[in-house]
């Protein structure tokens, strides 16, 4: 696992700690062992996630990474919307707002979010140019001996103060004579 993977996992772990503390402290109003129960539940959930990850590793590795990210993003958006709207009632009446269909509304949010997200993906997908298109992006020359750029660079220029001109191979960096 690289440095960014470690940072991501650490951040997720920190979020879990905050969630467990929040649920545990709110549960102590009803049971004096609420924080202990929440912590034990989080530890059990962590263990189950590790076991499930070991079991599902091979099948999940066949799923393309972008597809996995898309599915997780859609689920997180649906759960977040559900909890945000449900929590809005707490500030007004002190009681959470009720969704029609209760927790089944999350499935409805996934379905409702799927259409616009697919339109967004289609709109962001790069358009392919026809084969006969005359414009092409400038190519960056391949590195040559000693890391110098060989070939004509689209950044090359001609002036009296520089040691390169438009028709030469432009070493990087350009030096003054």
At residue 154, does pLDDT exceed 50?
no
Cα angle at 78 between 73 and 84, to 5 degrees? 120
The CA distance from 104 to 55, in Å, is 28
At residue 136, does pLDDT exceed 50?
yes
CA distance from start to end of the chain = 48
Banded pLDDT at 160 (limits 50, 70, 90): low
Residue 170 has a pLDDT of 47
User: Region 57-62: what's the mean pLDDT?
Assistant: 82
User: Region 93-111: what's the mean pLDDT?
Assistant: 87
At residue 114, does pLDDT exceed 90?
yes
Tokens of 102: 């209760």
């Amino acid at each position: 696992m690289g440095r960014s993977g470690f940072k991501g996992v650490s951040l997720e772990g920190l979020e879990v700690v905050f969630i467990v503390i929040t649920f545990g402290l709110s549960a102590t109003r009803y049971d004096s062992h609420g924080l202990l129960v929440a912590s034990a539940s989080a530890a059990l959930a962590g263990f189950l996630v590790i076991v499930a990850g070991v079991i599902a590793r091979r099948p999940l590795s066949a799923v393309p990474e972008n597809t996995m990210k898309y599915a997780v993003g859609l689920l997180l958006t649906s759960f977040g919307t559900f909890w945000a709207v449900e929590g809005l009632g707490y500030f007004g009446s002190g009681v959470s707002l009720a969704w029609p269909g209760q927790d089944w509304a999350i499935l409805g949010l996934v379905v409702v979010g799927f259409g616009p997200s697919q339109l967004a993906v289609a709109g962001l997908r790069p358009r392919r140019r026809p084969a006969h298109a005359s414009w092409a992006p400038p190519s960056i020359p391949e590195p040559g001996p000693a890391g110098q750029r060989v070939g004509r660079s689209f950044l090359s220029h001609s002036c009296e103060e520089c040691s390169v001109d438009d028709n030469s191979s432009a070493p990087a960096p350009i030096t003054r004579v």
